[in-house]
Structure 1
Amino acid sequence: MRKASRGALLAATATVSLSLVVAAPAAFAEASAGATAAACATGWGSLMKTASSSAPAYLTNVRTGSHDCYDRIVFDIPAGSTSRLGYYVQYVDAFEQDGSGDPIPVSGGAILEVRVQAASYDMENQKVTYPGKAKQPLPGVDLTGYKTFRDAKFGASFEGYSQVGVGVRARLPFKVTQLSDKLVVDVAHSW
C-alpha cells in the first residue's frame, strides 16, 4: 500500500508541476497585457479641443512619431513667437480645404483635422516657412509602421491658420499639448 501511495503521490506531483509550467506563460501574458492596457489608459476623449490667441505665429515644421501607447504629430513654431497658440483639433466627416472648401481625400477609418494658428509663411519677411503643398502628403513624413496614423495631408495656410488632415485607424481619444515652441497632438492606439 505504501508503494501505491508513493506512486500516486509522484504522479499527482508531476501533474501539478506540469500544469504550472503550461499555465505560467499564459498567466504571464495575461498579466502583461493587463499592465500594458493600464499603463496606456488615457481618459483623453475624442471631442473637439480648442484654444484661441490673437498673436500671429508661423509654422516651420510638421513631424510625427510613434510611441507605445499613441502616435504623435508635432507642429513646430519659432520659440517665443507667441506665448499661447490658437488651435482647433476635431474629428470631421470629410477633410475640406480652408478657403476653397475643396475635398481632400485622407485615408483611414477617421479623419482628425488640426488647424494651428500659425501660417506657413512669414509675411513680414516675405518668405515661406513651411513647404507644405495643398492637398499633398506632409513633406518628410512617412507613416509606414504606425499603429494609429494612416495618412497626413496638408490642407492650406489660410487667414493665419495652417490646416492638416490626419487619417487615423478609427475615431480614437486624443490630447493636445501646447509648449513654448510647438503644438503636440497625441492620438491613442486604443480606448
Structure 2
Amino acid sequence: MIDLHYWPTPNGHKVLIFLEEAGLEHTIHPVNIGNGEQFRPEFLAISPNNRMPAIVDHAPRDEGAPISVFESGAILLYLAHKTGEFGGRDPRAHIDVLQWLMWQVGGLGPMLGQNHHFTRYAPEKVPYAIDRYLSETARLYGVLDRQLAGRSFVTGEDYTVADMACFPWILPEAQGQDIAQFPNLARWHADIAARPAVIRALARGKAVAERA
C-alpha cells in the first residue's frame, strides 16, 4: 500500500498517473495547498521542502520499514525501480528516460510554472516577465515537438516516466500556446490523454478538488 500525499497540480498528476498505470494499491491523502496544508508538521516530516506530491510506501521491495519519498521526479524513479516498469527496457534506454525526466523537472516544469505565475496569479502584470515565460514556453514546446518527430513517445516506442512527467505540464490554452504549431506534440498529447489510466487519474484529481 502506498500513501499518496497529493493535490491536483501537474506534479501531483505525474505520480497518480504512474500509480494508475501500474495498478499499484494506493490511498490519496489530499494536501490542499490553497489552505496551506503543505506546511503542516506531519506533511513536512515526509516532504521537508513543503511541496507535494510525496509518498509513503508501506511495502518496499526490501520488506523493511516504510519508505517516504518527496519530489515528483524522485518518486517516479522510485516507483519505476519498485515495479520494474516505465523506466526503460535496458541500460541505454534508461539513460534516455533519465535525461528527459531531468529535462522536465529542471526546465519544462519550472519555466511553465513561472508562465502560470506571471500570466495568471501575480498581483501585478509585469510585461517583461510575461513575454519572457511565454517565449520560453514556446521554446520548450518546440524542443519536445522535435523530439517526438518519428517517435510514439518521448524516448521512442516505449511509454515511460518521461511521458508521465511531461504530459500534465502541457496546457496550451492556459500557457498562451497554439498547439497546432507543434503537430508532433499535439499528436502525442492526444494519445496520452486517451489512455484509460490517465483518464482515471485526471478524473480522480478533479474529484479531489471538487471535495475541497
Shorter-chain TM-score bucket reads under 0.3
Question: TM-score if structure 2 supplies the norm length?
Answer: 0.24
Structure with greater helix share of residues: 2
Question: TM-score if structure 1 supplies the norm length?
Answer: 0.26
